[in-house]
Structure 1
Amino acid sequence: MTVDTPFPTEPETAWTTVAGTIRKGMNVIDAEGTCLGQVETLVGDEVMLAGDGGHGFIALSQIDGVGEKGVLLSDRGDAMFGMAS
């Protein structure tokens, strides 16, 4: 017998957004084709990046699309907003 619980037992690894389905581990690629990091999780309207203790994030509004190669950012000048230095 299984019991349904209201709380997930495993962390989410995929999130459906207006840009497409974002999955944990996807590369985040800027407009020049440089990989800025990998998706760790989605918090609110921000994609949090995995990294070396950094707390980089990308706002969903900066995403141009989600493709086979990863999360593709728009070529807006503020695409680096939120990146840890």
Structure 2
Amino acid sequence: MTRQTTQQPGRQPGDETAWTTVVGTIRKGMPVIDADGTRIGKVAYLDGEEIVLEPDEPGQDAEFVALTQVDGVDETSVLLSGRGDATFGLGGEP
């Protein structure tokens, strides 16, 4: 899936390293953990209401997770809720 970003003019996704959201403060490089405890990636940046993950390989399309899928944020990681992966990467409403 190709990832389209909604950037403000003159801003790049890497300009910020922390974002305050309704679920907590999310920082660049934080691991994203699914409800089963599996690490699915690292935070690259936030784009609107979505967490964009760092691609595993150079040139690979970035995957993303909607903030509505986040169960909680602690000092070191982002934990996703246990709603399954039916909506993973869609960015839609729960």
TM-score under structure 1 normalisation? 0.79
The whole-number CA distance in structure 2 between the counterparts of 1:12 and 1:62 is 22
Which sections of structure 2, spanning at least 5 residues, go unmatched?
1-9
1:58–1:81 contact (8 Å) kept in structure 2: yes
Query: 4+ runs of 1 displaced by more than 2 Å?
Result: none
Change (3 A) 1:80 1:69: farther
Name the count of aligned residue pairs. Answer: 76
Matching of residues 12-23 of structure 1 within 5 Å: 12-23=16-27
Query: Which has the larger share of strand?
Result: 1
TM-score under structure 2 normalisation? 0.72
Larger radius of gyration: 1
Specify the SS of the correspondent of 2:15.
Answer: coil
